[in-house]
Amino acid sequence: MADPVVTDPATVTSKKKRSPRKKFKFPDGWIARGFTFEVEWPDDHQVASSIRSQFGGRRFAYNWALAQVKADMDARKTDPSHASVQWNLYALRKRFNAEKPTIAPWWSENSKEAYSTGIADLCVALKNWSDSKAGKRKGKKVGFPKFRSKRKDRARVRFSTGPMRIDPDRRTVTLPVVGALRSKENTRRIERLVRVGKARVLNATLRERWGRLFVSFSCIVENHQYPAPAKGGRAGVDLGMRVLATIVDSDGDITEVPNPAPLRATLTERKRVGRQLSGRIPGSRGHDAAKAKLASLDRRCVHLRKQASHQLTTMLADTYSEVVVEDLDLAAMKKSMGRRAFRRSVSDAALGQIRPQLTYKMAWRGTTLTIADRWFASSKLHHGCGCRLIEPKKLAKQLVCVVTGEIVDRDINAARNLRDWPDTAGQDSSGAVGAVAPPASESSDGQDIGLSDAVGGSVRPEPRRRPHPLRPEPTREPREGVQHE
Ligand SMILES: [Zn+2]
């Protein structure tokens, strides 16, 4: 695997120095990967407070740059010829460096990277806002950046130059300014790659969360050769709350991946601790203890969710050549669901993480991820029959076929529909076209229902609302995806 590009990292280094955020050309066959390790807070109080000071420096620069931008915008309202500072890292950083002796006489206490991170973060936020305003950005509308208080800020600092090492003892990571930090976990998964030249660290981010310290390395890594998918074929995956995922593959095999539901499991505990917290006096030792306990329960939930979605997506990517999932609009789902418990369970299942993870994992393996149309009524369309299934009650698990009266499992039916998408949906959307022949590759599918040949084209198209390209109104169909309690 001695690719000539691999041995010539010069291109990467030079670009990296200019700006870590700039997209550079990857060497062929290399991919971007992040590696995160929890590290111990240094015992040395001075080092620990220096770390906190870096976080504060980043926040200061962010707020300062935001104030500049806002002042410029106000000035331009009265005087259109006002010369504003450009919204980019270089211009803002230049002005910051010119002014820092007066606005931040303590600036030399922190790494220049701390300030640079803050300004870069603001530039990204501004770009997201302007792209969102111009309709160039998908998803939820992005608001104008806000000033960050110490409470609200995600404490972090990103280092892109200076010594960043994963030490050979596989326990220590070294960052500029901060120095050596002890990892709580063995760092071998990245250390061995760096040592043999199969990975390069581009930058390192030090962040605090739940009172703990984490270091993430963004790297480029030589993509390793994945074996061919274990099973191959195509799988439809219905994501949900009752079970995390229901998978139906080309052979008609059904796999249910249970949901660990971490939030529900710790809910009682959280409730109890929450009550304790409210009964205690802020600033007291008991209050602090309850707060720490709550934070640790949250941390546990986040990690459990992450683990569940990683296990699921790796399994899917390793097993199938093509995976079809539904295009869930989680933001709209959460909004449209009034009840808090429901909202929580949607977040709980961490459905939002699954699609991005599948996207990159399948790209690494060169396999295909297909996203079914958001407006495809995968859970109500009876697979192989084509009727619209009846719901005995809202979000019921068991649906009833209009034609034969058979009981149909909602999740399995949805997964079957997704597996055959868009062939099943083709009938749905084409309407007037009439019979759509099942494709040759899928013709053996009939077995799992036994009806598909007979009624290939008879699916009654539900009147479908096409979303506005810029402002989709995902109010109806997303509910279908949320069939789970
Ligand atoms: Zn039916």
Is 238 within the bounds of a domain?
yes
Neighbours of 392 (CB within 10 A): 10
Alpha-carbon span 480 to 428, nearest angstrom: 15
pLDDT of 398 higher than 50: yes
Is 393 within the bounds of a domain?
no
Residue keyed to tokens 């950005």: 137
Is 378 within the bounds of a domain?
no
Domain boundary among 205, 225, 245: 225
Alpha-carbon span 102 to 85, nearest angstrom: 18
Is 383 within the bounds of a domain?
no
pLDDT for residue 268: 73
* Maximum Cα interatomic distance, the chain, rounded to a whole number of Å: 80
**pLDDT (tens digit per residue) in 245-269:** 899 988 888 888 887 766 567 767 8
Residues 285 and 346 in one domain: yes
Out of 33-47, 80-94, 161-175, 423-437, pick the least confident.
Answer: 423-437
pLDDT of 460 higher than 50: no
For 103-127, what is the mean pLDDT?
A: 85
DSSP state of 42: P
Give me the domain span that covers residue 287: 234-370
What total number of domains does the chain contain? 3
Alpha-carbon span 237 to 246, nearest angstrom: 6
Domain boundary among 176, 204, 225: 225
pLDDT for residue 319: 92
pLDDT for residue 340: 55
Residue type for 196, please?
A: V
pLDDT of 3 higher than 50: no
For 83-97, what is the mean pLDDT?
A: 80
**153 three-class SS:** coil
What Rg do the C-alpha atoms of the chain give, in angstroms? Answer: 26
Confidence of residue 318 (pLDDT cuts 50, 70, 90): very high
User: Among all residues, which ones are annotated catalytic?
Assistant: 238, 326, 411
Residues 295 and 426 in one domain: no
Residue 211: which region, alpha, beta or left (left: phi > 0; alpha: psi -120 to 50)?
Answer: left
Question: Do the beta carbons of residue 369 and residue 325 sit within 8 Å?
Answer: yes
Residues 26 and 107 in one domain: yes
Alpha-carbon span 173 to 192, nearest angstrom: 14
Is 379 within the bounds of a domain?
no
Alpha-carbon span 455 to 383, nearest angstrom: 10
Question: Do the beta carbons of residue 59 and residue 53 sit within 8 Å?
Answer: no
pLDDT of 375 higher than 60: yes
For 70-98, what is the mean pLDDT?
A: 81
Handedness of CA 118, 175, 37, 245 (dihedral sign): positive
Is 375 within the bounds of a domain?
no
* Residue of 92, 87, 98, 101 whose CA lies nearest to 64: 92
For residues 302 and 6, which has the higher predicted lDDT (pLDDT)?
Answer: 302
For 69-82, what is the mean pLDDT?
A: 82
Confidence of residue 14 (pLDDT cuts 50, 70, 90): very low
Predicted TM-score (pTM) of the model is: 0.67
For 72-84, what is the mean pLDDT?
A: 81
Residues 212 and 241 in one domain: no
Residues 189 and 85 in one domain: yes
Is 389 within the bounds of a domain?
no
**pLDDT (tens digit per residue) in 148-198:** 888 778 888 898 888 888 889 989 999 888 888 999 989 998 899 888 888
Query: Cα dist. 252→234, 235, 238, 255, 421 in Å?
Result: 10, 9, 14, 10, 15
DSSP letter string, 262-292: HHHHHHHHHHHHHHHHHHS-TTSHHHHHHHH
CA–centroid distance, residue 404 to ligand 1 (Å) = 6
Residues 96 and 33 in one domain: yes
CA–centroid distance, residue 463 to ligand 1 (Å) = 18
**pLDDT (tens digit per residue) in 271-284:** 788 888 888 988 89
CA–centroid distance, residue 459 to ligand 1 (Å) = 10
Residues 43 and 148 in one domain: yes
Residues 206 and 341 in one domain: no
List 322's β-bridge partners, or say none: 234, 368
Question: Do the beta carbons of residue 254 and residue 247 sit within 8 Å?
Answer: yes
pLDDT of 206 higher than 90: yes
pLDDT of 17 higher than 80: no
CA–centroid distance, residue 305 to ligand 1 (Å) = 35
pLDDT for residue 313: 92
Residues 208 and 320 in one domain: no
Residues 362 and 414 in one domain: no
* H-assigned helices in 134-235: 188-195
Alpha-carbon span 194 to 259, nearest angstrom: 36
CA–centroid distance, residue 132 to ligand 1 (Å) = 42
Residues 18 and 51 in one domain: yes
* Residue of 167, 214, 209, 168 whose CA lies nearest to 40: 214
pLDDT for residue 217: 92
Is 246 within the bounds of a domain?
yes
**168 three-class SS:** coil
pLDDT of 328 higher than 90: no
pLDDT of 418 higher than 80: yes
Domain boundary among 225, 253, 269: 225
Q: Is the bond leading into 27 cis (omega within 30 degrees of zero)?
A: no
pLDDT for residue 263: 59
Residues 164 and 143 in one domain: yes
For 90-110, what is the mean pLDDT?
A: 82
